[in-house]
Structure 1
């Protein structure tokens, strides 16, 4: 199908973990004949390069300034959400109104709920893009509509039940998102965050980076909650498996090690023998977590790739772990350490990688599922606890190893789990391969392919 006249604005939340999946969705829209203008802040402009080179005539970009704020760490996220609204809303309003052929729709990240009000003012539909899965988003919507209460907030193990969501998930209080634990109604930050999520519920449509075979029960739940014709599951939006110029070596940042060196190292390893360890683009392990992880990797004897983040200027952290002295020398030959960004999709797709120790961020979940690897789950915050429940309890592809700083495993137990994760015929591996096949089918003529076509068709037929 082709809708050549359709022009949409794609507005990701300006962090790599949110920009990358929306850019991957943008690529899918471009291949369907749409014209897309991507909004970026200056420091994120390089992320567009591989997409622009492949679609020079139909992919445009709009560079807007980044907020200049220095809030305390615990307020940083909400302060940035609010600052983006205050800074970008008037600029975008003027840009739309002065553009000779403005976008006919806005697709924006779920942390940009205020764009619903902008879209209403402009008279165009706004689609929410969720970098979280359908289960995680169902939880977010539920606690926004009906915020959980804890009369004894000192009791971090107070149980919160969400019976309206399929499988009635239950969480200890410390796993409830921070905004709802530390704030209360009437607090400006609490109200802003909640209203942001409620604006997402009110928006014209919802685009999920998920697929029916992975989260069917939760996708159907969202369709019942929002309306069947307002929800499209189009994932996993990932680089093409067959490889082309968009192969994601520079996808998100520069690695400290050239990609070909990592691939050469993996080429010499047996199939499904390597554990890939990475906690995403934001998580910095504390010293206890790092010590446990390093000891477990050393004792386990497994082949591994360890990708570590270091705190940046915006991630000041008093207690951040460092690799123990001599660790790299002691594991030389079976361990490969990357400090900084890693070509994660490429690594996970390599035949030698059999398991993935992950913080369960949704991008990592999808990349692991698509690669068909066993998932060792150590969620750290946000929707990651929900994603771990999905992988371990419902999909049967995961093995739980820890939870944040509350449940840090013993190094000997973690070493044992690392070892069993690369055993050839584990049931988790069999199920992971099945889901990997289902993900491929979903995007090649299956449910996600059909949903993408239907979404583009609905946009093309939209009448103001």
Structure 2
């Protein structure tokens, strides 16, 4: 790949999940805008799913496609975490690990200056080191979540062995904090661990990825979590660079423009800041009982809502008819950033994936927390600790909730006087999470370091 004078060639290798692919692509775009060449490496179907590149960047970002070997229980096209049940995620990782050989051959041929990789490819740093390629671990998680995981050496040991170990604030956090899982949040992670077919636990993948990198890049900002970034540097003993919040605007959501036309028409008819956008990500899966309670809660709240479902889930009979005009249910893909940017949207009932929270706060939307899997409970604690958002109350052990708690939380976030402070705080966050100039400054600092280090 030819580069301009002083330009870097950077290989990007994200984990096979949309919540990882998209921030890696956004960072790629920001690097390309500054004159650098990017090789973005993934599997065929995942590359197809990504937003089309703007014409001014198409010559700077090259997509490199490696077929994903089939794995136990997979069907054709199962190349992403959203394509497989939660308890099959480790089988997907065992297949991902088999990309090691084609990736090594590509790195040998193309000799990039840097490879930026994800936690799942814990085997990549030694390969890059042998080839003389600088290497950065890019955490799509915030600094607080990474600090909760702990120092790399302890992660490699797998020092937490039972759910209760995750429900306490770890001893290496030196300041007052609520950073811990609830019991019901960690039992789902435990179920995934029981299905481990790779011989390498997720904690060890994180440990090796951090231990053997040259630097940690992290999807956050020093204005938002300075104390956690400072602690992360102490725990990792590596240079740590925040990337900022990676805003690239709504122009990358070109898929299904006809879908947006209908959604926009409905949103245009609603009052400013009146609608709650409800979306629980690509991996969360609710039981029929949970889905019914969520539906009845939205109905009871009397607040306008736009609810996105991944597939034709069984929502309560007659629900759509009863909420007609006030509520809209959409099944399938939606342009989330465009929806969040619409003036009629005031709140966001979310699974608390970090990308989604960043997108919502970038437009000053009030988050309503409904964490389901992975680090989502930790994201909730971080934001609540900073006075942001409203969490739907749930049973500590079972995770159960009812429609009344949903309705109460929605009304508190959107309309009740008692929620005025969280609405005001969310509006303030727009200036932090949505600041494109700050974002550009962070990427400049990143590039400065990469240029000196290559």
- Common fold by TM > 0.5: yes
Deviation sequence 1:105-154 (CA, Å, 0-9, x none): 1111222222212212222111111121111122234562564556xx5x
106, 111, 123: which one aligns with 2:115: 106
CA distance in 2, matches of 1:157, 1:327: 41
Residues of 1 paired with 2:244 and 2:380: CA distance? 18
Structure 1 residues 104 and 159: alpha-carbon distance in aligned structure 2, compared to 1, 3 A threshold? closer
Contact 2:54 2:252 in 1 (8 A): no
Q: Is the 8 A contact 1:368 1:375 kept in 2?
A: yes
Q: Structure 1 residues 220, 180: CA separation in 2 closer, same or farther (over 3 Å shift)?
A: farther
Distance change >3 Å, CA 10–CA 159, structure 1 → 2? closer
Q: Unaligned regions of 5+ residues in structure 2, if any?
A: 75-84
1:82 aligns with 2:94: yes
| In the alignment, structure 1 residue 97 sits paired with structure 2 residue 108 | yes
**1:53 corresponds to:** 55
**Which of 413-422 and 365-374 deviates more?**
413-422
Indicate the residue corresponding to 1:340 in structure 2: 332
1:284-320 Cα deviation digits (max 9, x unpaired): 2111110101111112211000011138xxxxxxxxx
CA contact (8 A) 2:52 2:254 kept: no
User: For 2:193 and 2:71, how far apart are their aligned partners in 1?
Assistant: 21
Aligned with 1:144 (options 155, 163, 166): 155
Distance 1:107 1:378 in 2: 31
Cα distance in 1 between the residues matched to 2:432 and 2:383: 15
1:320-331, aligned counterparts within 5 Å? 322-331=314-323
Shift of 1:218: 1.1
1:204 is displaced (CA, Å) by 1.1
Pair 1:121-2:146 in alignment: no
Q: Equivalent residues in 2 for 1:379-394 (5 A)?
A: 379-392=371-384, 394=385
Q: 1:211/1:103 Cα in 2 relative to 1: closer, same or farther (>3 Å)?
A: same
Measure how far apart 1:97 and its partner are. 2.1
2:79: which partner in 1?
Answer: none
Tell me whether 1:201 sits opposite 2:231 in the alignment.
no
Given that residues 302 and 419 in structure 1 are in contact (C-alpha distance below 8 angstroms), is that contact kept between their aligned partners in structure 2?
A: yes
How far is 1:209 from its partner? 1.2
The alignment status of 1:287 with 2:288, answered yes or no, reads: yes
Give the count of matched residue pairs.
432
Match of 2:401, SS state, is coil
State the TM-score, normalized to the length of structure 2.
Answer: 0.87
Unaligned runs of 5+ in 1: 312-320
Do the aligned residues in 1 keep the contact of 2:87 with 2:191 (CA within 8 Å)? no
RMSD (Å) for aligned C-alpha atoms? 2.7
- Aligned partner of 2:421 in structure 1 is 427
Q: 2:227 aligns with which of 204, 217, 220?
A: 217
